[in-house]
């Protein structure tokens, strides 16, 4: 056997045992007179030269591809830094492996545009500088569209202090799947106003896939969140419409929370409607200490300590622990140090939703899972709508529940250690003035 291999400067004769050697080497078998090895024939040398030419061409191709990608990344970074107001930052098609965040600060009327959600992919799996993939701060009228951000150390796309922020056909994901080391938020507008999220996806976030925090005037529509701890979360935010979305295979599908110790103290005036919230039974993989770490797997929609929330015309299907939960902050068992914080849900209207659920037991994981198992003891007859029953004695809660398909209910009387659990929803058969539609300035 004669093995002819191409090194960068010469051919050598040796036994090829490594797979890479097998790829780079030409193995020629030819009978020799009297069993002798003999010298390489002209045919063998000619074949070797052909393979040398092919291999050299491959080297040149991959080298030029690497150089082209490096040039494209440098161009992206340059555009983010030097963009003038009114600029369009065009991101090319391809998968680009970035090691540092892309940051746009103090700019107005900027479009950051890829070639398509599945065509322009920014991968940060080898990130060494910064936490976010894309960060946008202190601007006005910023659009991000037609791109994917993958595998960031922290949040995928964070925007802060932006008036007029659009996410259009954008995807954020962690490709290794559920992992507590994944970044907290996929799409993350915080302390923004006039927020539009349309046609987006989020997967694998260890807190919330699509999160809007401490913001106002919000429309979140036509989007999908899956394999996150919280699929969609509206937190301490005012005037939000969340509709025509799909939340599936998260720990909790859609959360509307008000939490203490934040700059924007109070949210509310939120409408959650026409969403498909189903099979949110994923194990909770939030890092220890996160509030969402207390959300039990199998939660469809949870309303925590916020006010003026309408939940209507949703399909809430096969969330094994609860379809819709209406709870105070006290259910978390976390201490409240913020003296201005109001921990009770008020003026919540749940109506015209469709509920379905397989007959199976709720989760037994976590504190709430143990509460279900040892205190509530619903077995397989788990109610679709659960109210914790912790109330402000100085102010009526005004929790209205009516006209839901397959409606079942429980007030679990958490305030009195679950002593007087009631499945009678008649006290909540009421209506409230509708929450007005959110308006976002375009």
Higher pLDDT among residues 34 and 270, named by residue: 270
Supply the DSSP symbol for 295.
S
Three-state DSSP at 79 gives helix
- pLDDT above 90 for 38: no
Q: Is 239 helix (H, G, I), strand (E, B) or coil?
A: strand
Burial 319-336 (b: 16+ CB within 10 A, else e): bbbbbbbbbbbebbeeee
pLDDT category, 362, cuts 50, 70, 90?
confident
The pLDDT value recorded for residue 2 is 38
CA torsion sign, 112 to 117 to 121 to 123? Answer: positive
What mean pLDDT do residues 76-81 have?
94
The percentage of the chain sitting over the pLDDT mark of 90, rounded to a whole number, equals 75
d(CA 391, CA 384): 21
- Do the beta carbons of residue 251 and residue 273 sit within 8 Å? no
Higher pLDDT, 401 or 373: 401
| Percent of the chain clearing pLDDT 70 (strictly above) | 83
Rounded CA gap, 342 and 102, in Å?
A: 38
> What's the pLDDT score for residue 429?
97
Does the pLDDT of residue 271 top 60, yes or no?
yes
The residue ranking higher by pLDDT, 306 or 369, is 306
Q: Are 191 and 213 in contact (CB under 8 A)?
A: yes
Question: Is residue 277 scored above 80 in pLDDT?
Answer: yes
Secondary structure class of 312 (helix, strand, coil): strand
* Span 330-341, average pLDDT: 94
Average the pLDDT over 238-242 and give the result. 99
pLDDT-based confidence at 107, cuts 50/70/90?
A: very high
Whole-number pLDDT of residue 360: 79
Count of helix runs (H) and strand runs (E) in the chain: 3, 31
User: Secondary structure of 168-181 in the HEC alphabet?
Assistant: EEEEEECCCCCCCC
| pLDDT of residue 10 exceeding 80 | no
For residues 320-330, give the mean pLDDT. Answer: 96
DSSP 256: E
pLDDT band at 155 (very low <50, low <70, confident <90, very high): very high
Classified as helix, coil or strand, 158 is strand
Say how many C-beta atoms besides its own lie within 10 A of residue 86's C-beta: 11
State how far the Cα of 202 lies from the Cα of 227, in Å rounded to an integer: 8
Q: pLDDT per residue over 183-202, tens digit each?
A: 999 999 999 999 999 999 99
Tokens encoding 31 = 């009978």
Which region among 237-241, 321-325, 363-367 has the lowest average model confidence (pLDDT)? 363-367
**How does residue 178 score in pLDDT terms, banded at 50, 70 and 90?**
very high
Average pLDDT, whole number, for the chain? 88
Q: Give the confidence band of 70 by pLDDT, cuts at 50, 70, 90.
A: confident
Alpha carbon distance 154, 64 (integer Å): 31
pLDDT at 25 over 60: no
* Closest residue by Cα to residue 396 from 332, 303, 272, 307: 307
> How much is the average pLDDT of 63-82?
77
- Predicted local distance difference test score (pLDDT) of residue 379: 74
Report for 52-66, 84-98, 355-369: range of highest mean pLDDT = 84-98
pLDDT in tens, 407-417: 999 999 999 98
Lowest mean per-residue pLDDT among 41-55, 113-127, 156-170, 389-403: 41-55
Confidence of residue 62 (pLDDT cuts 50, 70, 90): very low
From CA 160, how far away is CA 153, in angstroms rounded? 18
pTM for this model (two decimals): 0.85
């Amino acid at each position: 056997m004669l093995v002819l291999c191409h090194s960068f400067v010469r051919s050598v004769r040796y036994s090829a045992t490594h797979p890479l050697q097998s790829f780079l080497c030409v193995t020629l078998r030819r009978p020799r007179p009297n069993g002798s090895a003999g010298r390489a024939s002209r045919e063998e040398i000619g074949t070797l030269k052909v393979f040398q030419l092919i291999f050299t061409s491959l080297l040149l191709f991959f080298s030029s591809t690497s150089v082209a990608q490096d040039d494209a990344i440098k161009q992206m970074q340059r555009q983010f830094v030097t963009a003038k107001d009114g600029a369009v930052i065009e991101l090319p098609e391809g998968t680009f492996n970035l090691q540092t965040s892309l940051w746009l600060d103090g700019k107005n009327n900027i479009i950051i545009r890829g070639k398509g959600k599945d065509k322009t992919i920014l991968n940060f799996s080898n990130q060494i500088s910064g936490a976010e993939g894309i960060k946008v701060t202190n601007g006005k009228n910023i659009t991000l569209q037609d791109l994917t951000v993958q595998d960031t150390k922290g949040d995928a796309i964070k925007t802060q202090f932006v008036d007029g922020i659009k996410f259009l056909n954008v995807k954020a994901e962690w490709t290794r799947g559920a992992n507590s080391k994944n970044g907290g938020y996929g799409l993350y507008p915080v302390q923004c106003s006039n927020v539009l999220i349309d046609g987006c996806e989020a997967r694998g976030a260890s807190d919330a896939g699509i999160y809007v925090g401490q913001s106002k005037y919000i429309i979140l529509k036509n989007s999908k969140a899956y394999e996150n701890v919280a699929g969609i979360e509206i937190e301490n935010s005012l005037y939000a419409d969340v509709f025509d979305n799909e939340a599936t295979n998260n720990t909790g599908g859609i959360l509307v929370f008000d939490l203490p110790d934040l700059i924007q103290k109070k949210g509310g005036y939120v409408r959650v409607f026409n969403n498909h919230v189903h099979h949110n039974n994923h194990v909770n993989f939030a890092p220890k200490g996160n509030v969402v770490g207390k959300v039990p797997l199998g939660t469809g929609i949870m309303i925590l300590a916020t006010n003026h929330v309408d939940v209507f015309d949703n399909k809430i299907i096969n969330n094994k622990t609860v379809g819709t939960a209406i709870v105070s902050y006290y259910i978390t068992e976390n201490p409240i140090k913020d003296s201005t914080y109001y921990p009770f849900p008020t003026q919540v209207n749940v109506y015209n939703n469709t509920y379905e659920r397989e007959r199976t037991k709720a989760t037994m994981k976590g504190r709430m899972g143990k509460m279900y198992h040892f205190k509530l003891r619903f077995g397989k007859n788990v109610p679709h709508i659960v109210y914790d029953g912790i109330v402000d004695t100085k102010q009526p809660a005004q929790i209205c529940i009516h006209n839901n398909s397959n409606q079942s209910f429980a007030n679990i009387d958490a305030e009195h250690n679950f002593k007087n659990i009631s499945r009678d929803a008649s006290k909540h058969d009421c209506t409230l003035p509708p929450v007005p539609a959110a308006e976002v300035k375009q």
